[in-house]
Amino acid sequence: MERLIVIEKQTGRSQAATGLIYGAVAYGLWGLFPLYFALLDSVSPVEVVAHRVVWSLVFLAVALFVIRGWRNLFRTMRSTRTFGLLALAAVFLSINWGVYVWAVQNDDVVQASLGYFINPLVSVGLGVVILRERLRHLQWAAVGLAVVAVVVLAIAMGHPPWISLVLATSFGIYGLLKKVVGVGSVPSLAIETLVLTPVALMIILIAVRGGHAGLVHDGPGTTALLIMLGPVTAIPLIAFGAAATRIPLSSLGLMQFLTPTLQFIMGITIFHETMTTGSWVGFIIVWLALCLFGFDIVRHSRSVKGQQSPSRIDDLEVVKPD
């Protein structure tokens, strides 16, 4: 019995470690996205999103064939609840994609990065409201500081940071839905893109008939970039979905710091966006909130680890495989 317990606990640790790797891959690639979308500034954000959907579906169809996942896909689609939740996730994902591409093309990479800095705290808030998770004192302090930061940035900018708020909220809800559904990353993303594909094809067709489709009129380089949106989009999302089913939502939110950090650095150094004094103050408050949040998670994780005993079955963490 003791040997079985040790094996199960080791399996739980390997699942968590794998989830952390998947999360690092997803957030690292997302952090580099501004460089890619800047190359597509001649194409409208709506058309870019449409191509992301269509070519992602093509890429995922090939992936499902390779891993023989069609049966699992059809089984998942038969569940009305699961299909409905994934369709809803697709809506929030498309909103996130569209706003993000628009922000990059309009030199708002820094404000987009703020959205992903705030997102972990939004995920925590959703965990409290929807999943009935309980926050510790430092986590409440972090959420409070984030609210203060948004107010400071709104005053500095003369209006609320709508780009940041929409990105943070849309992706927070998307992550929550993925967590609730708990379906494998490839079939879930395939269903999401399948739901969006009819609208995406209509958008591309309208652009072609209107004579302004980037796929046709902007040269072979742009055509190649649009087609490559399939794997470029799908790979980090698959990694994210795999991470979401293996590690807690709070840990997933903590890992997101990698994405906005890369984006913020690129916004300042590569895209040469300016920062006012008020903007710096707002960002500093956000970073302070994230430091508190991260410190609390690390401290709590160490405390829980120290209390665990390999001789108790109750201490086993059950992680649903992908």
Q: How many CA atoms lie within 13 A of 197 on its CB side?
A: 15
223 within some domain:
yes
Q: How many CA atoms lie within 13 A of 81 on its CB side?
A: 4
Q: In this structure, what DSSP letter does residue 121 have?
A: H
Write down the pTM of the prediction. 0.79
pLDDT at residue 295 greater than cutoff 60: yes
* Tokens at 54, concatenated: 């269509």
pLDDT at residue 319 greater than cutoff 50: no
5 within some domain:
no
- Cα(246)–Cα(322) distance, rounded to whole angstroms? 8
pLDDT at residue 221 greater than cutoff 60: yes
Q: Is residue 51 within 8 Å of residue 204, measured between CB atoms?
A: yes
How distant, in Å, are the alpha carbons of 106, 134, 158, 181, 212 from that of 101?
A: 9, 35, 23, 27, 18
pLDDT of 301 = 66
Confidence of residue 57 (pLDDT cuts 50, 70, 90): very high
Q: In this structure, what DSSP letter does residue 218 have?
A: S
pLDDT at residue 92 greater than cutoff 90: yes
Q: What is the mean pLDDT of the chain?
A: 82
10 within some domain:
no
Nearest to 255 by CA among 271, 239, 274, 268: 239
Contacts of 246 (CB under 8 A, 6+ apart): 15, 16, 18, 19, 22, 319, 322
Burial level of 303, CB count in 10 A (0-12/13-18/19+)? exposed
Confidence of residue 318 (pLDDT cuts 50, 70, 90): very low
Q: In this structure, what DSSP letter does residue 130 have?
A: T
pLDDT at residue 195 greater than cutoff 70: yes
Burial level of 318, CB count in 10 A (0-12/13-18/19+)? exposed
pLDDT of 218 = 66
Note down the domain range covering 35.
18-314
Q: In this structure, what DSSP letter does residue 315 have?
A: G
- Cα(191)–Cα(76) distance, rounded to whole angstroms? 9
7 within some domain:
no
1 within some domain:
no
**pLDDT for 104-140, tens place per residue?**
989 899 999 999 888 878 887 887 777 777 777 888 8
284 within some domain:
yes
Cα–chain-centroid distance for residue 322? 17
pLDDT at residue 317 greater than cutoff 80: no
* Tokens at 182, concatenated: 């708990």
Q: What angle do CA 234, 238, 243 make, to 5 degrees?
A: 150
pLDDT of 307 = 59
Put residue 219 in one of left, alpha, beta given phi > 0 → left and psi -120 to 50 → alpha.
left
Question: What percentage of the chain carries pLDDT values higher than 70?
Answer: 86
Q: What is the domain count for the chain? A: 1
- Cα(130)–Cα(127) distance, rounded to whole angstroms? 6
320 within some domain:
no
Q: For the ranges 99-113, 210-224, 274-288, which has the lowest average pLDDT?
A: 210-224
101 within some domain:
yes
Higher pLDDT, 169 or 69: 169
**pLDDT for 230-255, tens place per residue?**
899 888 878 877 887 787 766 776 67
Q: Which residue has the tokens 């916004």?
A: 267
pLDDT at residue 163 greater than cutoff 70: yes
pLDDT of 310 = 45
